[in-house]
Chains A and B, each alone.
Chain A
Amino acid sequence: MFTRGKGTGWPERSPAFPAAATGADIVCVDHVSKAFGTGQTRRIALDDVSLSVQRGTFVTLIGPSGCGKSTLLRIVAGLLDADSGDVSVLGATAAQATAAKSIGFVPQTPALLPWRTVLDNVRLPMQVNRKANDNGVRSPRDPAEVLEQFGLGRVLRARPAELSGGMQQRVAIARAFAFDPAILLMDEPFSALDELTRERQRYELLQVWQSNRKTVLFVTHSVAEAVALSDVVAVMSSRPGRIRALVPVDLPRPRTAYTETTEAFHRIVQSIRDELRAAWQDGDD
């Protein structure tokens, strides 16, 4: 279990964090590099990135645009292949992890099926790749119950088009929660929402997560969001994409909107801003 950077192998700030594979690691990214394009247009998206995510922790990747945070998430999700380095999810490859339905992916847009009701959208993960349904590890939850937990109990029979953007995104998150994957990968799930909705979504997610501590790897470009949600924030720099620092967030849980007013919160936000600014300057030269 992760204990907020004190003596568990999480150094306070270390650009080259050793990806020591321990039993508690759900995700282990080991010296991964990835480039796009060839010749003149070749761009290194990720350069020798290592990271590990321990069971039951909420880890956030943050960084300027083009720092490869989404690329890293897509590699872990098995949607992209790394050029070099290893990724293991639950001790297996990303492809094996998706085959076992161990990964719950929440993309930037809700990505719901418009012809299905909210409830049937949340049922979808159990309806495809059925042979991975009873792997003995997963204990899928009742979709209606999960939707209830996300405050969507009254719109079970509604179509996605009838819901607001924030509600649609909650359905997408509920879809990933309900089939009980070992890890949730969230790629800027709130980026399409307006600022006020976004803040509310943050705490709705926290509320559910705090009652059911799934392992989460989260991508965002909002510092406040990262600090409010995470146990660890990995600050990335761009061109090439590297993990510049791992900032532990030792704020007590459960966190609420009130947490954002505390001094400790602002201190951590400030330290991440400093890292981002430094990353920005590094990227310029």
Chain B
Amino acid sequence: MIESTQSPPEAGRRRPSATGPQPRPPRPAILIRAAQALRRVEVWLPAVVALALAAGAWQWYAIDHKYVIPQLQQIFGQLWDRPDFYWRNMLVTLRESVVGAGCGVGAAFLLAVIMTHVRVVERALMPLAIIVNVTPVIAVAPGLVVAFGFGLTPKYIITAVIVFFPFLINALVGLRSVDRMTLAVFRTLHASTLEILWRLRLPSSVPFLFAAARICLPLSVIGAVAAEFVAAGEARGLGTVIATSASTSDLRTIYASVFTLSLLGLVLSALVVLLERCVMAWHGSTNRPH
């Protein structure tokens, strides 16, 4: 019994380091890792150099082609001069993508749970879901505007539809990726379908749900912006701002909006990654689908 005399932290060291972040404690571990990464120049320097080169190339091109792209200081000047304008419109786009994606993800997850247990539902609805997926949602947008007007509803629908299929597929795989042996243990205990779902399938699917969320969040912003292009909304939003600025050839406003959207995407992705790290630390599983 030499093994068992070891204390847990020592035992923890046996984990191969290639499996990602150390499991516990979650948050300090992330911060420590970030601090360690910052101290190592070779980790962040390449990215900084590449970013600087890209900015330099942009600037070099913009000086001679002011009708193609504005210079960087003009873009940032826009943001500096009218921060609340961009903030307000960003919030509209954010709301559209979050509410829409929330509805789409919720519906997809519910359907995945049903499909996991009732094979007939999967056989019946999967072809339909595939048809919806291969149909360019943007093509439906004008029709939705005719039906629901220039309010938020058509934007919610478009973002919901755009995230629905990727999330459905990931959730289905996740709910089915249950360890066979563990399932056998549950069966020999005569655990009910609901108990297996709650205590085994749902927790097992968590890594897959995060992988899906990473795909779906940027998609939802694309959906919201595209919907605003088609139906310049009463509430505006960055897509609307871009569309109206394009009609007056206001390149600075366009690129200031684009920059704000990039920032929004970065923050959303970072939030998902942070949440994922915390939850996966709780999850304790090294079985990650990506």
Contacts and interface: CB of A to CB of B under 8 A. Distances in A.
Are A and B associated in one complex? Answer: yes
Interface of A: 74, 77-79, 98-101, 103-105, 107-109, 111-116, 124-125, 127-129, 132, 151-155, 157-164, 166-167, 175, 185, 204
Contacts of A111: 179, 181-182, 184-185
Contacts of B11: 155, 158, 162-164, 167
Which 10 residue pairs of A and B lie closest in terms of their CB atoms, listed nearest first? A111-B181, A128-B191, A107-B181, A105-B188, A159-B284, A114-B285, A151-B4, A111-B182, A158-B8, A114-B284
Contacts of A107: 181, 184-185
Contacts, number: 108
B182 A161 contact: no
A125 B5 CA distance: 27
Given A128-B191, A159-B23, A115 B4 contact: no
Contact of B15 (A105, A112, A162, A175): A162
B12 interface: yes
B27 interface: no
B7 interface: yes
A167 B283 contact: no
Contacts of A127: 199
Nearest to B200: A113
A184 B11 CA distance: 29
Contact of B23 (A108, A161, A167): A161
Interface of B: 1, 3-8, 11-12, 14-15, 23-24, 179, 181-182, 184-192, 195, 199-200, 203, 282-287
A78 B189 CA distance: 10
Contact of B283 (A103, A114, A153): A114
Contact of A155 (B4, B179, B286): B4
B190 to A, nearest CB: 4
21 contacts: A77-B188, A78-B187, A104-B188, A109-B179, A109-B181, A111-B182, A112-B182, A114-B283, A115-B285, A127-B199, A128-B195, A155-B11, A159-B24, A159-B284, A160-B284, A161-B23, A161-B286, A162-B23, A167-B4, A175-B185, A204-B1
B239 to A, nearest CB: 40
B184 A105 contact: yes
B283 A166 contact: no
